Chains A and B, each alone.
Chain A
Amino acid sequence: MTALAPAPHGTGGHRRSRGASTPAVRSLLRGLPTVPAVVLLAVFLAGPIAYCVYYAFTDMQLTGASGTSFVGLDNFTRAFEDTDFLNAMWLTLVFVVGSAVVGQNTLGLALAVLMQKATRPVRSLVSGVVIAAWVLPEVVAGYLMYAFFYDQGSLNSLLDALHLPDQNWLYTMPILAVCLANVWRGTAFSLMVFTAAINDVPQELVEAAEMDGAGPWQRLWRVVLPVIRPSILTNLMLITLQTLSVFGLIYTMTRGGPGNKSETLPIFMYQQAFQNSLIGYGTAIALVLLVVGALFSVVYIRLLKLEDD
């Protein structure tokens, strides 16, 4: 990518600096167009993150800032003793691993591989419906999935028609329902990443393997997958980050319930901060989420960097 990036030292040929503008002034002037971006990012992202770090150590409440005081690590010790918090951590793990790492990633890869071999109309149909589910606004997807998994919904009528046992999905296993909903909604992203990656696999490699007598499985396992490994890693990082912060989909479908059976960290955080008015505690949970996200983000950058250099 950076191979295209031009002239290492600015626009090499033109020297209009006429002594007056020193290199320092010149590079400042050149950086000027980034100022609006820097200001916006500093005010609306860096600021809140700094706030987040600070508030996480206070006992701030929604009802008024008057009584806010520094409480040190109290919020965190409280969180790690709070069974609801541990439950939310566990459900977040299940949600991320189940719906993103296993669900979206595998289904996206499988669809991308199968679509290479399918006929053209089938290929367009699959990509069309999968992407349609992805383009839909989050709340609409949540609403549709609610209707789909509802006791008298489409899924159960489908299961009845096939003479399979049905159940009240949103009550008995809400976390499975939201995982499947997230797979339904999010697989398009993995599908697009993998389709692009598979198209970039050099055809000679695949043909050479075919010549040597490798069957379709071996070609996939020994040739295609090793070649697209960087894309798989990038995709895993990105969908993990996206899935970590899913709020609207789950909140529309179950509101974290029944009880706390589908209460992932974002929902737990929201409920503590706004329904229980514990801004300080909610912020501490947000910080945990932020740190987890930041760790994944760092790994993701390292992956990209490795690809780059």
Chain B
Amino acid sequence: MAAVATPPPETVVKVPVAPSRPQGRRIRPGRVTINLVLLAVSVLYVLPLLWMVLASVSDTNSFRLQWPSSLTLDNFDAVLNVDTTYRPMLNSLLLCGFGTAVTVVVSVLAAYPLSRYRSRVRRPFLYTILFSTGLPITAVMIPVYSMFVQVNLIDSMPGTTLFLAASALPFGIWLMKNFMDGVPVVLEEAARIDGANTMQVLWRVVLPLMRPGVVVVTIFTFIGMWGNFFVPFILLLSPEKLPASVSVFTFLSAHDQTQYGQLSAFSLLYSLRVVMLYLLLARKLGGGFALGGALKG
């Protein structure tokens, strides 16, 4: 019985295969070449990343890409202590966590009137915001330093946090406004008729509807701040206040080649957080390419 029963499915399967033959013919040499070229590019891209991973678990310190003779977690052991890892990471977390919170709250507030009301200042305001997204923040750091010295904010974590938040604001407001434009006003008007004021409308109606947008702005701002090196490098001085980005740099310049395994281990720990966040973001956006679309305006 079973022997008889098996053939039919096979023929059933074969039927849909037959018409799709023309597609099969499309696997031309051209397509193979394209795949090979792309694979070669990926290999070049992956080499430096692979080196970091291998160096972090290897007991020999070398810049050459090589399989470690024996796997070891010594490098991680050596860096997992308060001075090397925990404190810089905590500092990064404080700076970026509070900075992101300020950016997100302030940009939601600012985006609402920009998205909902027309007025004479709206267009110039939006253009100023758009203009500021393009300004090289690197260039203002020296005047910011002089200013911070004068008002005694240098080496202050809250001051640096606020500056990070302010520098992420233009992009945050711009993205947030675009996301908010996508929320229909009809729902809002219904809430207004029921007597809700602006803040209630924003909190209860608009925000829940644009949660994906808020998540995107939050994660993006956080990733940007987490990797920011120049701002804390200039504005913070005390070693115990420095975030992970600066400590990677000081680590690199303070040690000789014998420590590169440890530095790789630390870099891995430091990078892992943003990579995870990005994966989360990509999942949320269903592919991770949506930002390209959002940026187009």
Interface residues of A (CB under 8 A from B): 1-2, 4-11, 13-14, 27, 30-34, 36-38, 40-41, 43-45, 47-49, 51-52, 55, 60, 65, 111, 114-115, 117-119, 122-123, 125-127, 129-133, 135-140, 143-148, 150, 152-154, 157-158, 184, 192-197, 199-200, 216, 230-231, 234, 237-238, 241, 244-248, 251-252, 266, 269-270, 273-274, 279, 282-283, 286-287, 289-290, 293-294, 296-298, 300-301, 304, 307-308
Contacts and interface: CB of A to CB of B under 8 A. Distances in A.
Interface residues of B, number: 109
A51 B143 contact: yes
B181 A1 contact: yes
A45 B132 contact: yes
A282 B144 CA distance: 12
B117 A4 contact: no
Given A130-B45, A131-B278, A282-B142, A252 B252 contact: yes
Nearest to A44: B166
A177 to B, nearest CB: 12
A166 B188 CA distance: 65
Contacts of B84: none
A152 B145 CA distance: 38
Given A11-B189, A45-B167, A118-B35, A293 B134 contact: yes
Contact of A234 (B140, B233, B246, B296): B296
Contact of A33 (B39, B44, B109, B189): B109
Contacts, number: 324
Interface in B4-56: 30-31, 34-35, 37-39, 41-42, 44-49, 51-52, 55
Given A6-B116, A30-B113, A14 B193 contact: yes
Given A290-B135, A298-B131, A139 B64 contact: no
A135 B275 contact: yes
A140 B34 contact: no
Contact of B125 (A34, A118, A282): A34
Given A132-B49, A147-B51, A153 B189 contact: no
A33 B198 CA distance: 10
B182 A4 contact: yes
26 contacts: A8-B118, A9-B118, A10-B117, A14-B192, A14-B193, A41-B132, A41-B170, A44-B144, A44-B167, A45-B135, A52-B139, A118-B38, A122-B38, A126-B38, A126-B41, A131-B288, A140-B248, A140-B271, A147-B260, A152-B62, A230-B296, A234-B296, A241-B136, A266-B138, A290-B135, A296-B134
Contacts of A297: 131, 133-135
Contact of B47 (A7, A148, A247, A274): A148
Nearest to A10: B117
A23 B219 CA distance: 38
A33 B29 CA distance: 59
Interface stretch (B75-83, B207-215, B224-232): B224-232
Contacts of B192: 11, 14
Contacts of A34: 109-110, 113-114, 125
A27 B63 contact: no
A33 B199 CA distance: 9
A127 B249 CA distance: 28
B134 A300 contact: yes
Contacts of B163: 44
Contacts of A40: 102, 106, 162, 165-166, 169
> 10 tightest CB-CB pairs across the interface, nearest first?
A297-B134, A245-B136, A137-B227, A44-B166, A192-B292, A196-B292, A6-B185, A37-B110, A248-B229, A245-B138
B112 interface: yes
Nearest to A136: B271
For the residues of B in contact with A, the DSSP-based class is helix
B296 A193 contact: yes
Nearest to B282: A131
B84 to A, nearest CB: 15
B193 to A, nearest CB: 7
Given A6-B116, A34-B113, A130-B45, A196 B296 contact: yes
Nearest to B112: A33
Contact of B142 (A31, A41, A234, A273): A273
A9 B119 CA distance: 8
Contacts of B86: none
A106 B52 CA distance: 27
A37 B9 CA distance: 66
Contacts of A9: 118
A2 B102 CA distance: 27
A49 B140 contact: yes
A52 B169 CA distance: 20
B132 A301 contact: no
B115 interface: yes
Contact of B119 (A27, A36, A118): A27
Contacts of B137: 245
A42 to B, nearest CB: 9
B173 interface: yes
B72 interface: no
Given A30-B113, A247-B229, A279 B146 contact: yes
B159 to A, nearest CB: 9
A45 B105 CA distance: 18
Residue among A31, A135, A137, A234 facing the most chain B CB atoms (10 A cut-off): A137
